[in-house]
């Protein structure tokens, strides 16, 4: 039980936790009753920046969810124009992270980072479809180990104001490796190779580094889901 509660904390969160803790002390000095809300907010900040280990499926061809959260959209979309990956539509899976989800993002597949592109923008609700084109975002184009194109996009949300991307062009990484995070509510879109079928459905919960969202070597058709 302790292992599930006392999980590692992302380095990016330590300054925020310290600020919340100091603010709690200041509030307590101002008035005793302010101690409790300060402690609650500090505990939430610690919870937000948790960074648990994940068990990533390692079979070749699998595309793994880069984010914790709910699948809010699955369907055709063009490659992001900023990445210059060609014309035509591919399948896109959009995963929305609320403020209670783990916000550390992970690589969706084994492969090499081909191109990075940062786009400043708005901060509309990340669960809306227009967030893919209007919000501040960090785009990543990669080539899988067997040469297939793949892209994913970190998108800032209504509350999020900082996208952290720790990878660089030319770097080779493994599926499930940590690559960055988005602070305080956000979304990650995954663009699959043209022939790949999404294996998740709208409304499904994904776990970063664990949930399989596509199989590039499989022949299964796109899945549908039902609430039961």
Is the domain of 24 the same as that of 81? no
pLDDT digits (tens, 9 = 90+) for 69-107: 999 999 999 999 999 998 889 999 999 998 889 889 999
Cβ-contact 107, 135 below 8 angstroms: no
pLDDT digits (tens, 9 = 90+) for 32-75: 898 998 899 998 888 888 899 999 999 999 999 999 999 999 99
**Domain tally, the chain:** 2
Asked whether residue 80 is assigned to any structural domain, the reply reads: yes
Is the domain of 89 the same as that of 189? yes
Asked whether residue 227 is assigned to any structural domain, the reply reads: no
pLDDT digits (tens, 9 = 90+) for 157-175: 766 567 889 999 999 999 9
Cβ-contact 54, 106 below 8 angstroms: yes
Q: Nearest Cα to 48, choosing from 91, 19, 87, 84?
A: 19
Catalytic residue set: 186
Is the domain of 37 the same as that of 78? no
């Amino acid at each position: 039980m302790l292992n599930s509660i006392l999980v590692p904390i992302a380095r990016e969160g330590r300054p925020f936790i310290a600020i919340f803790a100091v603010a709690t002390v200041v509030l307590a000095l101002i008035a005793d009753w302010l101690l409790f809300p300060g402690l609650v907010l500090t505990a939430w900040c610690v919870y937000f920046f948790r960074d648990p280990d994940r068990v990533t499926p390692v079979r070749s061809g699998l595309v793994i969810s880069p984010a914790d959260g709910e699948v809010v959209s699955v369907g055709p979309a063009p490659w992001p124009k900023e990445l210059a990956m060609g014309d035509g539509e591919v399948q896109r899976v959009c995963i929305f992270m609320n403020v209670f989800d783990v916000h550390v993002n992970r690589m969706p597949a084994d492969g090499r980072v081909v191109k990075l592109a940062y786009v400043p923008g708005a901060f509309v609700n990340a669960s809306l479809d227009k967030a893919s084109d209007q919000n501040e975002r960090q785009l990543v184009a990669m080539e899988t180990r067997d040469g297939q194109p793949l892209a994913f996009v970190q998108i800032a949300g209504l509350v999020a104001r900082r996208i952290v991307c720790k990878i660089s062009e030319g770097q080779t990484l493994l599926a499930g490796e940590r690559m960055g995070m988005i602070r305080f509510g956000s979304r990650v879109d995954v663009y699959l190779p043209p022939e790949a079928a999404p294996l998740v459905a709208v409304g499904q919960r994904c776990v970063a580094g664990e949930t399989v969202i596509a199989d590039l070597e499989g022949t299964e058709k796109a899945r549908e889901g039902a609430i039961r």
